[in-house]
Amino acid sequence: MADLLLRVMRYLTFETSRACTMTRDHPKCPIGHPERYRFGLKDKPLTDDQVFEFWRWAHRREFRGIILWHWYNEPTLSMPRIRRLMERIKAVDPYQPFQLFSNDPAAPFAEFDLIKLTDYSLNKDLDDRIASAWGEGQRHPHQPTGYCGRGWGWEMPIDVYGNWCLCCNDWRCEESVGNIKTDDWDELLRRFYAKSSQIKWKDQASWDALPRMCRACMDVNFSLHRTGGSFPTP
């Protein structure tokens, strides 16, 4: 079942550095927060070899999604590294697509299959990922059932140190399934599948069973993830 997840996975996301050009402009962004990576490993960043080998492992297990250069960092600050990795990966699979998520309007569009630019000059009122690091979260009475879209398991987020996180809100690695530098990748995939498929609730008991981070996120950032209705099947 876990291998099937790779076949439908849309994104393999790599954080390429800890740097961003807008850290001072966004006090709600956790990139410079002292608790960033608190529950994960943070000794040495991933090497190019480790990024490449992890992609090749996923590719051999039928991952045919997009490699996304993104997370809380600004990827264009790591362009020499990104170009090296893209060249190396395309030598194995010329059809591997790449996407860039950037705040730089001068980003090199032609080098990527997809690009998303975020114009923060229009709105600097970010959702509060930092606030979701604390608290237990409240189940809203008008939303008796629901799920987080992350339960669909559509993205594998790997931070700069190799921590395989549950989602982009997991900036402290609180719900990380492990680290790709130290743990067995097949086992990490099984853990990720188990965790990501359980972020849904139908009553108070199932709400209480959600990871603390998820309950706090859906409470603090109500409009970001929270939806209602029937449960998706990963």
Q: Tens of pLDDT along 120-134?
A: 766 656 667 888 899
Question: Is pLDDT of 50 > 70?
Answer: yes
C-beta separation of 157 from 168 below 8 A: yes
Q: Can you list the positions of beta strands (E) in the chain? A: 11-14, 66-69, 98-102, 114-117, 146-148, 155-158, 163-164, 178-179, 200-201, 226-227
What span, in angstroms and rounded, lies between the C-alpha atoms of 187 and 16? 24
Q: What is the DSSP string of 36-67?
A: TTTTS--SSPPPHHHHHHHHHHHHHTT--SEE
Give the pLDDT mean for 67-74.
93
Question: Is pLDDT of 153 > 80?
Answer: no
**What phi and psi, each to the nearest 5 degrees, are found at residue 85?**
-70, -40
Question: Is pLDDT of 137 > 70?
Answer: yes
* Other Cβ atoms closer than 10 A to 1: 10
Q: Kindly list the domain boundaries of the chain, sorted by start residue.
A: 2-118+135-226
What pLDDT does residue 11 have?
95
What span, in angstroms and rounded, lies between the C-alpha atoms of 66 and 144? 35
C-beta separation of 88 from 30 below 8 A: no
211, 168, 224, 216 alpha-carbon torsion, rounded to 10°:
30
Give the pLDDT mean for 49-72.
96
What span, in angstroms and rounded, lies between the C-alpha atoms of 57 and 220? 36
Instruction: Select the more confidently predicted residue: 123 or 70.
Output: 70
Band (pLDDT 50/70/90 cuts) for residue 234 is: very low
Question: Is pLDDT of 233 > 50?
Answer: no
Q: Which CATH number fits domain 2-118+135-226: 3.90.1150.150, 3.30.2320.50, 3.40.630.30, 3.20.20.70?
A: 3.20.20.70
Question: Is pLDDT of 210 > 60?
Answer: yes
The structure's pTM equals 0.90
